[in-house]
Amino acid sequence: MVEDDMTGEEIFRRYSSGCIPWMIFCGHITEDRLRRLNASKGKISHHLLKSCFPGAYDDSRKFARARGLSQWHPATQRNFWRNEHRRNNDKCRVHRGRVVAVIKINGTDLSLVTVMPDGPGEPDANPYRAVNVHHLPLEEGDIVYVHKYVVAETDQVAHQCATSFLRDGALSLFQ
Ligand SMILES: [Zn+2]
55 and 15, same structural domain? Answer: yes
**Ligand 1 geometric centre to CA of 29 (Å):** 16
**Are both 25 and 73 inside the same structural domain?**
yes
CA distance 121 to 155: 18
pLDDT digits (tens, 9 = 90+) for 31-65: 999 999 999 989 999 999 999 999 999 999 999 99
Residues 115, 69 within the same domain: no
Is 89 among the domain residues? no
Instruction: Give me ligand 1 centre to Cα 171, in Å.
Output: 42
Are residues 116 and 52 located together in one domain of the fold? no
**Ligand 1 centroid – CA 163 distance (Å):** 32
CA of 84 to the centre of ligand 1 (A): 10
Number of alpha carbons in the 13 Å side-chain half-sphere of residue 35: 3
CA of 18 to the centre of ligand 1 (A): 8
pLDDT tens for 102-160 read: 999 888 888 999 999 998 878 777 899 999 999 999 999 999 999 999 999 998 644 44
Beta bridge partners of residue 165, listed in sequence order = none
In a domain, 167, yes or no: no
Q: Is residue 166 part of a domain?
A: no
Whole-number Å distance, alpha carbon 165 to ligand 1 midpoint, is: 34
What's the domain range around 7?
Answer: 3-84
Q: Is 2's pLDDT higher than 50?
A: no
CATH number at residue 115: 2.30.30
Q: 85 CA distance to ligand 1 centroid (A)? A: 6
Residue type, 16: S
Q: Among residues 62, 84, 106, which one ends one of the domains?
A: 84
- Asked if residue 148 belongs to a domain, the reply is yes
Is position 114 within any domain? yes
Q: What is the pTM of this model?
A: 0.83
Number of separate domains in the chain: 2
Residues 94 and 146 sit within 8 Å (Cβ to Cβ): yes
Same domain? 26 vs 79:
yes
Cα 19 to ligand 1 centroid, rounded to whole Å: 7
